[in-house]
Amino acid sequence: MAKKEETISLIDTFSEFKELKSIDRTTMISVLEESFRSVIAKLFGTDENYDVIVNPDKGDFEIWRSREVVKDENLTNPNLQISITEAQKIDASYEAGEEVTDEVFLSSFGRRAILNVRQTLASKILELEKDSLYSKYVDQVGTIINAEVYQIWKKEMLLLDDDGNELLLPKTEQIPSDFYHKGEMVRAVVDRVDNANNNPKIILSRISPVFLQRLFEMEVPEINDGLITIKKIARIPGERAKIAVESYDDRIDPVGACVGVKGSRIHGIVRELRNENIDVVNYTSNTELFIKRALSPAKVSSVRLNEEEHKAEVFLKPEEVSLAIGKGGMNIKLASMLTEFTIDVFRELDEAEESEDIYLDEFSDEIDAWIITSIKAIGLDTAKAVLQAPREMLIEKADLEEATVDDVLRILKAEFEE
C-alpha cells in the first residue's frame, strides 16, 4: 500500500513523459532510470547494487537491491550487506556469502527523496524538450513552415507549430505591410536557431531571400526538378525583387517557366509577398550582359567596367535613365545587389553634345569651390559629365543639398543654351 501511495505522486510525471512524441521509448526509460539512480546514489553513496525497472506505460517502477549475506557480527554496511539473521527471515535457506535481492519501496527513502526524484525528472523533461526542439529545427533552417499566430507583441510575434512548439517572427523579419491577427496561419522560412544557454529560440523570416527562393521552388516544378537554377536574388521586401535564373536545358526558357502562362506561377508568390514586384532575368557569367539585364526594364546602350573595384558605368539614352534608376533609386539599387557591382548611370551624349565641353573649374566664379570639389570627388570633372549624371546621384554621392544641385544644373545648362 505504501508503495502505491508514494508512486502515485510520480504518475503525473510519467504521463507527462509519455506525451512527449519527440522522445523515443529507449531515451525515456534511460532518463527515468537515471533520475532514480541519481537519488539512490545521493542517499547511499552508490547505486551499483540497485536495479531500477521502469514501466512508463503504466506509470510504475520497481527498485531492487542486492546485498551480500554476512554473519551478524560482520555487518558494517547495511546498504551493501544483510545479516544472516535478517536474510533467513526472507528465506531460511540463506547462508553467509550468498546474495539477497529484495524490493525497496520509494516510501522508505522519505519524502525529500521523492521530491528530489520529481524535480530531477521535471528538469530532465525540460532539457529533453529543449534538445528535441533544437534538433528538429536546426535541420530545418532554410525550410518554409506554416505556423499559427498565438500572441502579437510590439517587436515580435509568437507562433505555434503543429506540435505546439513556440516560434518567433520578429518585426524586423516581417514584410513592412504584413498584418496578422491571433489564430491566423503564417508562412515563413526558418531563418536560424539560437541556442544560448541551451534555451533554443527558433527565428522565422519573411524578408529573407531564401524565403523567396523556396516559394519559387514550390511554384515552379522545373526549379524543384533541378532543370532551372536560381543563381542570384536581390530583395527590398514588400517593394521589389530581382531574381536571376539559369536553365540547363536549351529547350526551357527559364524566365518564361518562372513567370508562367499569363503570370500564373508568379502571381501566387507576389500575393504571398504583399504584392512585391518581382523581375525575373536570365543569368549569365558575362558581367557586362548581366548588368544590362539586371537594369531591366531600362535598355542600356553601353557599359564600362572596372572589375578590380567592382564598379560599372552604364550609359543610356536620356529617356531610359529614369527607368534604370527606378522609383526612389530602387531599380539601380537592386541591380547593384544582384550583380554585386556598384552601378553609376549616365546619359548618352550625341556627337554634337560631345564636341564641346567645359571643365568645372571654369565655373568657379558662379559655383563655390567646395561644391566643385565635392562633385569632382565622385569622378565628374566637366559640365557635360555633371549634366549627364542623374540628379539623385549628385545629391547622394556628392552629399549635396537638393537646392544646391539644382542651382549647379541650372548654371551648367545655361552655359550650353547660350
Out of 298, 320, 347, a domain closes at 347
127 and 10 co-located in one domain: yes
Average pLDDT, integer, range 361-379: 87
Q: What is the mean pLDDT of the chain?
A: 87
pLDDT higher than threshold 90 for residue 265? yes
Our count of domains for the chain comes to 4
Q: What is the pLDDT of residues 75-84, one digit of tens each?
A: 999 889 999 9
28 and 114 co-located in one domain: yes
pTM: predicted TM-score of the whole model, two decimal places:
0.69
Q: What is the pLDDT of residues 95-142, one digit of tens each?
A: 899 999 988 887 777 778 778 777 877 787 788 888 888 988 999 999
170 and 196 co-located in one domain: yes
Q: Residue 157's domain spans which residues?
A: 141-206
Non-local (6+) Cβ contacts of 386 within 8 A are 360, 375, 380, 394, 408, 409, 412
Spatial separation of the C-alpha atoms in residues 232 and 225, rounded to whole Å: 18
pLDDT recorded at residue 196? 87
Spatial separation of the C-alpha atoms in residues 200 and 130, rounded to whole Å: 6
Grid cell digits, residue 223: 526549379
36 and 123 co-located in one domain: yes
pLDDT higher than threshold 80 for residue 17? no
Average pLDDT, integer, range 353-380: 82
Q: How far is CA 260 from CA 216, 255, 263, 268, 294, in A?
A: 11, 8, 5, 11, 20
Average pLDDT, integer, range 348-372: 77
pLDDT recorded at residue 116? 79
Q: Partners of 347 in the beta sheet? A: 316
Residue 147: CATH number of its domain = 2.40.50.140
Out of 89, 104, 135, a domain closes at 135
Average pLDDT, integer, range 252-262: 93
Omega before 297 within 30 of 0, i.e. cis: yes
Out of 156, 172, 206, a domain closes at 206
